[in-house]
Structure 1
Amino acid sequence: MRASDVMTTNVISVTPDMTIRQVAKVFVHNGISGAPVLDTDGSIAGMISEGDLLRRCEIGTDERTRTSWLDIWSASHEARDYVKTHAVKVSDVMTTEVVTVQPDTPLGEVAGILEARHIKRVPVTKAGRVVGIISRANLVQALASVPDEPVSNATLSDAEIRAALMGELAGRKWGFAGRNIVVTDGVVHLWGVFQSAEAVNAVRVAAQNIPGVKHVEDHTEPYQMVPGI
């Protein structure tokens, strides 16, 4: 799936010269938590979200707890905080470094951007104009819309189960070597020494997704570090 398949096309935007209170009302009235900021020519100038409105002098949330001596002595940091909590216009509060995606951007890439940048939404642009917006909620909605796969009545042999599992694990850093996996009567047995419980859990999930697997038994042992090595 691509961005155009799940994006919201009815994009509610704001302008740089709007006031913070006006934006707060837009958020509340439309049930949104963020919006692109568009210039008069329709080009994207920034993004503003509810996170930008959390600390405001109007509601007494402008004081920030200092967590380090660097924060206490940093005049520029304190000045930025003051602007964020006291500025009237959107242009002074919005995020100006905006990452965008295209309508044909794969959803995997969109999810990677949201995760890596710790953001909740990303504008979708075409020819420099905003044509949509994708939020984390859109990705969850896409997942919920995927039809359930039909239950397979096929029964794989133990050898076929093991081959399928090995194929799934091939090339994955956390995958087990072939000698560590034994399949008997549809039960997958994991043997050997592992370096992380997460790796064993991932192999278990991979095995459980294979038709015919009854359950997975874990016989692995944690890797023991040798002192002084």
Structure 2
Amino acid sequence: MLATDVMRTSFATIRTNASVLDAVHLLLETDQRGLPVIGGDGELVGVVSEGEFLHRDELGVSPPSGNWLESLLGSDENSPERARMHTLQVGSLMSPVLITVGVDASVNEVVAQMDI
């Protein structure tokens, strides 16, 4: 089986200058685990995933049990945590290291890359 047999071809993306709050909303709306991050020229420059929001000193939050992304959105509109999520940009949290495989890679090769 090849990557092309199991890969997703349609997904939401986000720009580097979008707010973290926008990223959280988009993750919840699309039920994706991560968002490809697009630079100013439309090129892929990184990825931001749910894991990028865990235990972040910049956000001042620790994940509660349950759906913690929803918990982040449920914080008081005037709280410091919510203000940081609104002003902090995706580009500052994203992982700029992109690990890719070709569409003709085997699923075993894909799994091997995911284990790195």
2:33 and 2:18 map into 1 onto residues whose CA distance is 16
Tell me which residue corresponds to 1:38: 38
Q: Which has the bigger relative contact order, CA under 8 A and spacing at least 6?
A: 2
Secondary structure in structure 1 of the residue aligned to 2:105: coil
Change (3 A) 1:22 1:104: same
> Over alpha carbons, which structure has the higher Rg?
1
1:42 alignment partner AA: G
2:59 and 2:95 map into 1 onto residues whose CA distance is 21
Task: Give the RMSD, CA atoms, in angstroms.
Answer: 2.3
1:92 and 1:32 map into 2 onto residues whose CA distance is 20
Tell me which residue corresponds to 1:15: 15
Tell me which residue corresponds to 2:111: 111
2:25 and 2:60 map into 1 onto residues whose CA distance is 15
Secondary structure in structure 1 of the residue aligned to 2:24: helix
- Number of paired residues? 94
- Give the Å deviation of 1:40: 3.3
| 5+ long unaligned stretches in structure 1 | 63-84, 118-229
Change (3 A) 1:60 1:111: closer
Identity fraction in percent: 26
Tell me which residue corresponds to 1:155: none
Change (3 A) 1:106 1:17: same
**Normalising to structure 2: TM-score of the pair?**
0.71
1:100 and 1:43 map into 2 onto residues whose CA distance is 14
- Give the Å deviation of 1:104: 1.0
2:59 and 2:99 map into 1 onto residues whose CA distance is 30
* Alignment of structure 1 residues 23-172 onto 2, 5 Å: 23-56=23-56, 60-61=61-62, 88-115=88-115, 117=116
Change (3 A) 1:104 1:25: same
| 5+ long unaligned stretches in structure 2 | 64-83
1:105 and 1:45 map into 2 onto residues whose CA distance is 22
1:35 and 1:51 map into 2 onto residues whose CA distance is 11
- Give the Å deviation of 1:58: 5.2
Change (3 A) 1:108 1:47: same
**Normalising to structure 1: TM-score of the pair?**
0.38
Tell me which residue corresponds to 1:164: none
